[in-house]
Amino acid sequence: MFTCFIRYEIEPGKLDAFKEYARPWIGLIRKYGGTHHGYFVPGEKGDVLPDASFSFPGIGREGPPHIGVALFSFPDVESYERYKRDVAEDEGCKTATARFNETKCFSAYERSFLVPVFE
């Protein structure tokens, strides 16, 4: 098993557009054999969040306010490759991609593949 971690740079004023872009991908990942762990976006006015203090003074810092992340897992590389092939033909994928092309709700992204560390 591995998890894909995607870090998005959300464009100012386009958080709602980003959420609308993101929601369909949760179902698409599940439809094609993955486990979606959700999208995580910056808090908005009125959200009660903790202070970003750290356990390691001098080396921690608060993250930028325009970053969103997505996490999803696949059991193996073959399943992920099959997902990439099949989702490209899915109408939901085409619609989500068109939505991004219309809104340009994020300006960049980074993709990392991670493996778990357990107890």
**Hey, which CATH number is domain 2-42+63-114, 3.40.50.300, 3.30.70.100, 3.90.320.10, 3.55.10.10?**
3.30.70.100
Say what the pLDDT of residue 24 is: 97
Q: Which residue has the tokens 């991908």?
A: 25
Residue-wise pLDDT tens digits, 36-76: 999 999 998 899 988 877 778 888 888 899 999 999 999 99
Pairing between strand 106-114 and 67-74?
unpaired
Structure confidence at residue 7 (pLDDT):
98
Domain ranges of the chain: 2-42+63-114
pLDDT at position 34 is 98
Could you identify the residue written with the tokens 């203090």?
Answer: 53
pLDDT value at position 115? Answer: 98
How many Å separate Cα 85 from the centre of its chain?
Answer: 19
**Tens digit of each residue's pLDDT (9 = 90 or more) over 69-110:** 999 999 999 999 999 999 999 999 999 999 999 999 999 999
Give the residues across from 109 on adjacent strands: 8
pTM metric for this prediction: 0.92
Higher pLDDT, 61 or 35: 35
